[in-house]
Amino acid sequence: MIKFNPVILGKLIGLALLLVVSQVNAQTVPQDSIYQLNGIWLDQDGNERSLSSFSGKKQVLSMIYTHCLHTCPTIVSTMQSIENKLSDDEKQNVGFILVSLTPDTDTPEVMRDFAQKRKLNLENWSLLTGSAEDVRSLAMALDVKYQNVKDNEVNHSNLITGLDSQGRIKFQEIGVMDNAVMAVEKLKTF
């Protein structure tokens, strides 16, 4: 005689639901999305984040490092200019992400201090740090070239990337102030 065991049945149902949910999530993220990358990042508050946690809003993203004295301040200023050129309604649908190229020194605390010094609105901005491997994977997906040089400095591409709500690259601009208006116009097309 076969006995009915509610514990085993409950576990089987839970496993089936987990499989269905993971399949639905895998199907909702397009194959050409950076949200396919599996890295775990820490934000400026020390919270673990996956890139896919940013889905649902357009994102303006760049890779920088906080102690940079050269192009990174210009990139951040350009992104702030993009934000300032958006209407209040448009700002509701666009987030801003800065990803550290120097994860060994850009801890969540350092990233938070950087955000405060730069007067970044953390309701709309996220600063991420992760493993060197995850940084390299994201840089490759975005076609951002970088190389560590002496004294913890980094030579890197000066790119700002626009992502649609599903994490697909829709545009890339050189991170200079002259391109802020063009980036805003491109954000309005998708």
**Which pLDDT tens digit goes with each residue over 15-41?**
554 444 444 444 589 999 999 999 999
What domains sit in the chain, N to C, each tagged with a CATH number? Answer: 34-187 (3.40.30.10)
How many alpha carbons lie under 13 Å from residue 124 in its C-beta half-sphere?
A: 20
> Which pLDDT belongs to residue 27?
53
Cα separation, 64 vs 76, in Å, equals: 8
> Which pLDDT belongs to residue 177?
86
How many alpha carbons lie under 13 Å from residue 67 in its C-beta half-sphere?
A: 11
The answer on pLDDT for 12 being more than 60 is no
Residue 9 assigned ligand-binding role: no
pTM of the prediction? 0.84
Measure the CA dihedral 117/119/123/129, to 10°: -40
> Which pLDDT belongs to residue 26?
47
Residue 156 assigned ligand-binding role: yes
